[in-house]
Amino acid sequence: MNMKLLLATMLALLGCSSAFAGEKTEATMDKMKAAVTPGEIDLTGQEVKTIHDSQTAKDYKVCVKASNEAAAMKLRYDGQEATVQPGDCKEVTAKRINATAATPLSGSQHIMATFHEVKK
């Protein structure tokens, strides 16, 4: 069994056990999903998702997937802002990177984005 599959299985079991223990919070679920599917976020409302939060600035590439219902995403990082349109990417260097919808989402609009640390 490869390590990724083993890790995903262990995290899924951990998630089930925390749900039964009554500790199922949105932050915990986000962390578990990120561990199983690193580098992907889904925004469906006004929530703010953290992509990176550290004492050290890191380079990240963030892309918004294009689809019929996709919307623009706003990145806030170390006192700056940038808007990423569906089908586009943005590279940022920061200690803290947050993502949210650029404008309020309506109907079935959503934002599916991918991100990864850029090694330079």
- 4 vs 17, residue with greater confidence: 4
Q: Which residues form the domain of 71?
A: 39-120
- Non-local (6+) Cβ contacts of 91 within 8 A are 59, 60, 61, 62, 118
Helix H or strand E segment including 79:
none
Mind listing the pLDDT tens digit for each residue in 44-79? 988 999 999 999 999 999 999 999 999 999 999 999
pTM above 0.85, yes or no: no
Same domain, yes or no: 23 and 64: no
Same domain, yes or no: 61 and 90: yes
Same domain, yes or no: 24 and 76: no
Angle between helices 3-20 and 26-36 (to 10 degrees): 170
- CATH number for the domain spanning 51: value is 2.60.120.10
Same domain, yes or no: 45 and 27: no
Same domain, yes or no: 66 and 90: yes
- DSSP label of 65: P
DSSP, collapsed to helix, strand or coil, labels residue 30 as: helix
Same domain, yes or no: 17 and 44: no
Which whole-number Å values give the CA distances from 24 to 12, 15, 16, in the listed order? 13, 8, 9
